Structure formats: C-alpha cells, structure tokens
Amino acid sequence: MARPAKIAPGDPAPPATLVIFGGAGDLSRRLLTPALVNLTRDGLIGDDLDILVVSRGPDEGIQDQLAEHLDLGDKATKAAWATRRKRIVYFQGEFDDPATYSGLADRLKDAGNIAFYLATAASYFGPVSEALAKVGLLRETDGFRRVVVEKPFGHDLKTARALNKTLLGVMEESQIFRIDHFLGKETVQNIMVARFGNAFLEAVWNNRYIDHVQITAAETVDVGTRGAFYDATGALRDMVPNHLFQILAMVGMEPPNSFGAEAIRNEKAKLLDAVRIPTAGEAKRDAVRGRYTGGTIAGTKVTPYLKAADIAKGSHTETYAALKLMIDSWRWAGVPFYLRTGKAMAARDTEIVIQFKPIALAMFRNADISKIPPNKLIIQIQPNEGIDLHFNAKKPGPVVDTGQVMMDFRYKDAFDLGHRTGYETLLYDVLIGDQALFQRADMVERGWAIVQPILRQWAKDGDPEDYKAGSQGPAGADALMERDGREWHPVD
Ligand code: BG6
C-alpha cells in the first residue's frame, strides 16, 4: 500500500486506534494515560484517536481506573481528559486465546491506522505479535500497523536474537517500536542538542580534551514489590544494555547527517559497534557488582535485599553494577567510559560527567598544577535537570590563587517543563511513525553482546559484594576507579 503521508513533527498525529494489551495495568494508569491526556491538551492528538484496552478480567470501570493518576487541576487538562475518556473502549480477552484475536480483527476491520502497544509481561511480546499477524492485523493494507514493545527486550543475547527473529518474521523493522523510556526524558534528548547545537562543546568532544566519561543512574528505591522480576534480572540486565547504553550512544556518536530516524540510529549503532566487547579477563577486572544490605535512606529503614519479598534463597543477583568500557573509534580511543547503576543508594541521581584533561602547564606564579582541578561538564538527567560546568577562576587578591567555580543551567529556570511523564514524545512518535527514539534490532543485540561476557563471568562468581543501603555503592567500584587514578563523582 502507499505509505501514509509523512507527518511533520509538531503536526497533530493522524487518526488511529491505539490498542493497549495490558491496558488496565500499572504502566497504562501511571504513565500512558497521563501522557495521552497531555498530548490531547497540547493539540498533538485529537478526538480521532481511539483507545482500545485489551485486558483479561471483566471491565471494572476502565475510564475511572485510567483517571487514577491524572492531575486534573487545570481547565485545559480537564477538557483534554473529557475528550480522551469518551474514546476509551474495553475489550476483554486472554492474550493466549485465539478467540481474542479473531474478535479484535472483527472489531478493528474498519479501523484504518492501528498501533498495538504491548504493555504486557515480556513473555507475551512474541506470541501476541504472531497472533496479530495470523489474523491479518499486521498487514498494512488500509493504514499503518505498528507494534510497540516494552522492555525487557530479551534476557541475554540469545533470547534477544530469538525475539527479534520472531517479530521480524511477522512484520517489518519499520513497524516495530522498541521502547526505551530513558529516550523520552527531555534531558536525554537534549544531549544531542547540547552537542550538535553548540560549536564550543563539539570542538572539545574528543580524546584530545576529554579524560574520561562517567554515566550514572543511581536510585534510592529498593527492590520493593518487584522481587520476582528483579531477582531474575539484576541491575546489569535491568539498566545497562538498554538505558545506559542509549545514553552512551548519545554521548559518543558522530554527528548524524540529519535528525532523521535512520541517520540517528545509524550513528548510534556505529558507536555501539565500536564499543570493545570485554574479554573474559576484562569482564572480571573491569566490572563490579554489589548487593545492598540494610540501612537507612531519608530516615526510612531499608530491608536488606536478601530479606525482601520474593527474593530466592541463596540469590546471587546484583542490585548494583559498575563497569569500564573502551570505545575503539578515532574520536574516543583511549578514553574510558565508566558506567554505574544501583538501587538503594545515597541519592536519586542520573547524570553524565564529562571530565576534561588537566591543563598542560600551570603558568601562574607558584601555582601547583595538581591543585588546579580539571574542567567537568555535568549533564544532570534527573532530578533537577540541567547542565553544570565546573571551571577555574582567580580568587580575588594580590596573590595569584585559583578556585573552582560552577556555571549552572537548570531546565526549570529557562523553560516551562509542565507535568510530563516522559511518554508523551514516545507515544506521539509512534503515531507519526518517527523511529528515531526507538531501538533498532541491531542496537539491542549489540547491547547484549557487550554485556554478555560480564553476565557469563558473574554467573560463575558467586555472591556480589555488599554495600550499605543509602551509601555510594560497594568498595570494589571505588577500587575500579582508583586503579586508574580516578574517582567517581559523588552520588548526591
Ligand atoms: C526501569 C527499570 O526500566 O527503569 C527500573 O526496570 C528502574 O528498575 C527504572 O527503577 C528507572 O527509571 P526512571 O525513569 O525512574 O529513572
């Protein structure tokens, strides 16, 4: 069929039906519905978007359930919800029952454009896609057919490859939207604008000026009620090949030829391709894992991981991971990238620290070069989104002495951030068919390939190192940095 006319970003999305499998669940209530209401308020989707919630149980008042997390304080949002609410329909069906799909095919026979959002357990991603294909619902004869896949995308390289194979067996890559919700965060998207919209930054963005890069995603939350999922997953799988590698790709990629989806994804894929896959020895030496014990965070006592609900007896699962990676490219040769993530840490702090090289020569009288700290650029992804630049200035007075000072930009001071969930851009992009912020099959597989040697090593290694809840992480992570003569930027 002829492809739908290309929609320019900023135009309202075309009429469509959004079918959400698992649409009565937590993701739908907490994030998708508020995002859809925000898009409606902003005029980016109209009342020609129908929402079909597919769920197993009987309808217990889906409209009210989906309103649970809405903040209807202002008139415009209230009006947007009134529009949205009218277009929500419930469809009861088991995900593994063929009758669900024949029923859907019947219901959707005149729907035109359809996006299927799989907000289900990962084990359903393949089977639901195959079942949709079987009843002809993925054939783009009278409109687009897109499938949005949540994470986790596979459990390792083998399962990710198998899932790609299943999906690509029943649809084209252009129909698959693999979500990485970090890419919906404004500050993550801003990495590209910061780099390629500012001549002074891009000029020093290379191994001549940069000593190393740190990418951190620290959380204060513990495993909470997610024990069963988390214990089978661990910090590395949960955060690194997806979220942290997407940030790594944004920081490290070459300038794309355009802001077009394929141009951006090609550059990201090239960067991931250049990340050196650790040897067994490097996996042992350059990756550290930890597991939180008891402690206190913001006055609240944290239960040790091993005593949390649904954690297997004798579990070896890590709640913290740190690793050093090298990128074999002209731009980054010799610049280590240190990545870390952990639960139950001292603060919620997601950031990128670009540490520049020390100055070559301390020419100020009596100045000790080691006392002039190198410049640091910190891209604060959350909370308190912004960019900080640490630089040196002369302290006032007749004696030449230097001190480190900071210029800081906070998003909220410059722009109206509004209340956004991070899913607005992603949902809008699905509806207008822009895949720039979605993972492509090759990128997902490369991500897994890079961490695979570490997973292999850790499977042999027994217990992770303990760290106290509310701390900076395990001592081994500090040792990883100290060995290289460096230190982590504090999580605070
Ligand atoms: C999810 C992980 O993908 O990202 C969670 O499964 C983690 O374990 C979450 O807490 C972090 O996302 P955010 O947006 O809160 O930083």
Residue nearest ligand 1's atom 15 by CA = 219
CA distances (Å), origin 479, targets 317, 401, 486: 21, 32, 9
| CA end-to-end distance (rounded Å), the chain | 53
Domain layout of the chain by residue ranges: 16-150, 183-422+442-482
The CA-CA-CA angle for residues 323, 326, 330, to 5°, reads 160
| Residue in the structure block whose two tokens are 């209340």 | 419
The answer to whether 140 touches 174, Cβ cutoff 8 Å, is no
Number of residues written out for the chain: 492
CA of residue 101 relative to chain centroid, distance: 31
- In this structure, CATH architecture of domain 16-150: 3-Layer(aba) Sandwich (3.40)
Q: What is the pTM of this model?
A: 0.95
Question: What pLDDT shows up at residue 3?
Answer: 42
CA distances (Å), origin 203, targets 57, 199, 210: 57, 6, 11
Pocket test for ligand 1, best of 216, 238, 385 (most atoms within 8 A of CB): 238
Pocket test for ligand 1, best of 181, 317, 349 (most atoms within 8 A of CB): 181
Give 392 Cα–ligand 1 centroid separation in angstroms.
35
Residue nearest ligand 1's atom 8 by CA = 238
Two structure tokens written together for 264: 């951006």
What is the Cα–Cα distance from 252 to 205, expressed in whole angstroms?
Answer: 9
CA distances (Å), origin 244, targets 155, 195, 442: 16, 18, 16
Question: What pLDDT shows up at residue 66?
Answer: 96
CB atoms near residue 392 (< 10 Å): 17
Give 150 Cα–ligand 1 centroid separation in angstroms.
12
Question: What pLDDT shows up at residue 259?
Answer: 86
219 lines ligand 1 (CB under 6 A): yes
The answer to whether 28 touches 66, Cβ cutoff 8 Å, is yes
Two structure tokens written together for 302: 């944290």
Give 107 Cα–ligand 1 centroid separation in angstroms.
35
DSSP SS3 for 485: coil
Ligand 1 atom closest to 243 (CA):
3
Ligand 1 atom closest to 229 (CA):
6
What is the Cα–Cα distance from 140 to 420, expressed in whole angstroms?
Answer: 32
Residues that are catalytic: 243
Pocket test for ligand 1, best of 155, 219, 341, 345 (most atoms within 8 A of CB): 219
Give 221 Cα–ligand 1 centroid separation in angstroms.
10
Residue nearest ligand 1's atom 14 by CA = 182
What is the Cα–Cα distance from 446 to 274, expressed in whole angstroms?
Answer: 10
What is the Cα–Cα distance from 295 to 302, expressed in whole angstroms?
Answer: 5
Q: How many CA atoms lie within 13 A of 100 on its CB side?
A: 23
Q: Tens digits of per-residue pLDDT, 352-404? A: 999 999 887 766 656 666 678 899 999 999 999 999 999 999 889 888 788 89
Two structure tokens written together for 231: 């214990």
CATH says 183-422+442-482 is which class?
alpha beta
What is the Cα–Cα distance from 227 to 481, expressed in whole angstroms?
Answer: 30
What is the Cα–Cα distance from 419 to 105, expressed in whole angstroms?
Answer: 36
What is the Cα–Cα distance from 129 to 172, expressed in whole angstroms?
Answer: 12
* 295: amino acid identity, one letter: G
Ligand 1 atom closest to 230 (CA):
8
Pocket test for ligand 1, best of 26, 243, 245, 349 (most atoms within 8 A of CB): 243
Ligand 1 atom closest to 382 (CA):
16
What is the Cα–Cα distance from 208 to 221, expressed in whole angstroms?
Answer: 38
What is the Cα–Cα distance from 472 to 227, expressed in whole angstroms?
Answer: 22
Ligand 1 atom closest to 151 (CA):
3
Ligand 1 atom closest to 422 (CA):
14
Can the peptide bond before residue 374 be classed as cis, meaning omega within 30 degrees of 0?
A: no
Can the peptide bond before residue 373 be classed as cis, meaning omega within 30 degrees of 0?
A: no
238 lines ligand 1 (CB under 6 A): yes
CA distances (Å), origin 241, targets 54, 448, 461: 30, 6, 20
Burial class from Cβ neighbours inside 10 Å (0-12, 13-18, 19+) for residue 429 reads buried
Two structure tokens written together for 20: 């959400």
Bridge partners (DSSP) of residue 54 are 21, 91
Give 243 Cα–ligand 1 centroid separation in angstroms.
9
What is the Cα–Cα distance from 342 to 29, expressed in whole angstroms?
Answer: 26
Question: What pLDDT shows up at residue 1?
Answer: 36
The answer to whether 186 touches 250, Cβ cutoff 8 Å, is no
Alpha helices in 42-148, H assignment, sequence order: 62-66, 75-86, 98-107, 125-134
429 lines ligand 1 (CB under 6 A): no
Which regions of the chain are under pLDDT 70?
A: 1-7, 9, 362-370
What is the Cα–Cα distance from 3 to 376, expressed in whole angstroms?
Answer: 47
CA of residue 225 relative to chain centroid, distance: 21
